[in-house]
């Protein structure tokens, strides 16, 4: 074929194209072409017979000539003005026919009748490509179906290898343009793990800070409910704060659950007489706090770990009043000093409550206000310690929570010595 095409391209008219297609569909048998296309099909058949030598004499030359004729017709057809990249795709019926033909060992006669017509055409095209004109369904050979299949495969492979390099795909590309997906490598997994770790390191402090802020807000809201309960109790008992027993300095006040020896029983009075609920008296930072229904016969919490807040310790001589002139702290998150000493640990004077991870403590004052304290010292008074211990530690010289290197010694019997002194427990 010439390397360059003429400037003026020629192509068949519509009736001639239709007649040629009908001749191909009739397997180049002009007698089977419909009558409406018979004349043009006969002329095309005669023309092709002059152009193509007899198949029986020159099979290879005839096949190559036919291929070149088809390629020439495609190249001489009018080109589209806009190039469209369309990937050839079989119709669903053709796909089913190919599958059925392979299942029938390449014999169209064994294909179901609904797909047999398409299977016969596909088998004919396959024989043309393989260079064989013998119909397997009419073969009288005694070879088995597996042998015939291998022969067809070998013939197809030989035909593909015999094509020019530009007309076949490279072996590495394969029959279909699928992308090769590589498996996960160890460094990919390590990179993903590192990304997750870094993201966790960035997000975890933010999430922790969010949880702490939510716990702090909820704690202050519950202390506000306790303030309302204190006001109701004070209106019923001449402004007094809840108290079932006072302490004179000889009886312990940190034995939770023991009648007459627990200051937490004074605070529990609000829940016992329905001024407040146990949930109101539970800090969200204390996972062991009791939050259920209050037992009618209960007079105190069962153990120190269930107690969330430390309450002002009353004395026999000085009862605490609600709403008096100078506001003082009467309730705050649990004292870390008491809890460390009760667990036989070293206590620190300036340590914050563990309810909020040592960041500070929420406190309720006698005027009903709720404040946040970042240190246990308010107005020069440490809310965890009695006055005598404070004087011994010299708070003005303390710069760490170690108490200037001195150990705290508290026996649980100490009480305030002044009316305005603040001391919370347990």
In a domain, 372, yes or no: yes
Domain range holding 364?
214-425
The dihedral region occupied by 240, where left means phi > 0, alpha psi between -120 and 50, and beta the remainder, is beta
Contacts 24+ apart (CB under 8 A), 120-123: 122/94, 122/97, 122/98
Separation CA 245–CA 355 (nearest Å): 27
* 100 within domain boundaries: yes
The backbone region for 103, taken as left when phi is positive above 0, alpha when psi lies in -120 to 50, beta otherwise, is: alpha
Domain membership flag for residue 176: no
Residue 311 has pLDDT above 60, yes or no: yes
Whether 4 maps to a domain, the answer reads no
Indicate whether 405 and 272 sit together in one domain: yes
Does residue 400 sit within a domain?
yes
218 in the same domain as 160: no
pLDDT given for residue 146 in this prediction: 66
Q: Are residues 102 and 236 in the same domain?
A: no
Average pLDDT score, the chain: 77
Top mean-pLDDT range of 11-20, 288-297, 312-321: 288-297
Q: Is 194 contained in some domain?
A: no
Evaluate whether residue 247 is within a structural domain.
yes
Q: What's the Cα-to-Cα distance from 324 to each of 109, 311, 366, 419, rounded to whole Å?
A: 108, 17, 7, 12
Our count of domains for the chain comes to 2
Residues 149 and 220 in one domain: no
Would 383 be classed as within a structural domain? yes
Residue predicted with more confidence, 198 or 78: 198
322/406 same-domain check: yes
Q: Which of 161-175, 199-213, 400-414 has the highest mean pLDDT?
A: 199-213
Q: In Å, what is the CA distance from 350 to each residue of 180, 190, 312, 426?
A: 66, 45, 18, 16
Based on the fold, state whether residues 160 and 282 are members of the same structural domain. no
Q: Is the pLDDT of residue 202 over 50?
A: yes
Span 125-183, pLDDT tens digits? 877 776 555 555 554 444 466 667 777 777 777 776 676 654 444 444 444 444 444 55
CA dist 45 and 54 (Å) reads 13
Q: What is the pLDDT of residue 394?
A: 64
pLDDT of the residue at 331: 93
Q: Convert 293-315 into a string of H (helix), E (strand) and C (coil).
A: CCCCCCCCCCCHHHCCEEEECCE
Instruction: Check if the beta carbon of residue 308 is closer than 8 Å to that of residue 355.
Output: yes
More confident: 174 or 388: 388
Answer yes or no: are the C-beta atoms of 219 and 355 closer than 8 Å. Answer: yes
Report pLDDT digits (tens) over 211-258. 888 888 889 999 999 999 998 998 888 888 888 777 777 788 999 988
Residue with tokens 């649980």: 412
Residues 64 and 125 in one domain: yes
Residue 252 and residue 130 share a domain: no
**Paired tokens of 234:** 């004070």
> For 340-363, what is each residue's pLDDT tens digit?
989 888 888 889 999 988 889 999
């Amino acid at each position: 074929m010439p390397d360059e095409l003429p400037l003026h391209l020629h192509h068949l008219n519509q009736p001639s194209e239709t007649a040629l297609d009908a001749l191909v569909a009739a397997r180049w048998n002009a007698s089977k072409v419909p009558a409406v296309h018979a004349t043009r099909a006969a002329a095309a058949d005669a023309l092709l017979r002059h152009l193509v030598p007899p198949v029986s004499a020159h099979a290879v030359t005839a096949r190559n000539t036919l291929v070149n004729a088809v390629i020439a017709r495609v190249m001489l057809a009018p080109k589209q003005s806009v190039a469209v990249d369309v990937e050839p795709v079989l119709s669903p019926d053709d796909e089913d026919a190919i599958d059925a033909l392979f299942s029938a060992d390449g014999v169209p006669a064994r294909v179901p009748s609904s797909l047999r017509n398409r299977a016969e055409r596909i088998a004919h095209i396959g024989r043309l490509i393989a260079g064989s004109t013998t119909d397997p369904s009419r073969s009288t050979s005694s070879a088995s179906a597996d042998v015939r299949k291998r022969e067809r495969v070998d013939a197809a492979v030989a035909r593909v290898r015999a094509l020019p390099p530009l007309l076949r795909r490279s072996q590495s590309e394969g029959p279909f343009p699928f992308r090769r997906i590589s498996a996960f490598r160890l460094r990919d997994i390590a990179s993903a793990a590192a990304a997750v770790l870094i993201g966790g390191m960035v997000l975890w402090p933010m999430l922790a800070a969010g949880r702490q802020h939510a716990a702090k807000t909820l704690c202050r809201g519950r202390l506000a409910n306790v303030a309302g309960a204190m006001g109701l109790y004070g209106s019923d008992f001449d402004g007094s704060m809840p108290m079932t027993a006072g302490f004179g300095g000889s009886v312990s006040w940190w034995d939770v659950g023991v009648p007459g020896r627990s200051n937490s029983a004074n605070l529990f009075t609000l829940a016992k007489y329905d001024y407040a609920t146990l949930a109101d008296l539970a800090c969200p930072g204390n996972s062991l706090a009791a939050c259920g229904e209050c037992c009618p016969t209960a007079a105190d919490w069962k153990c120190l770990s269930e107690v969330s807040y430390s309450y002002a310790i009353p004395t026999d001589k000085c009862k605490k009043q609600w709403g008096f002139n100078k506001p003082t702290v009467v309730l705050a998150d649990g004292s870390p000093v008491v809890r460390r000493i009760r667990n036989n640990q070293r206590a620190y004077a300036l340590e914050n409550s563990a309810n909020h991870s040592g960041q500070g403590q929420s406190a309720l004052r006698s005027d009903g206000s709720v404040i946040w304290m970042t240190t246990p010292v308010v107005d020069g008074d440490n809310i965890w310690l009695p006055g005598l211990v404070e004087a011994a530690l010299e708070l003005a010289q303390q710069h760490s929570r170690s108490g200037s290197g001195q150990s705290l010694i508290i026996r649980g019997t100490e009480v305030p010595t002044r009316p305005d002194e603040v001391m919370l427990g347990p």
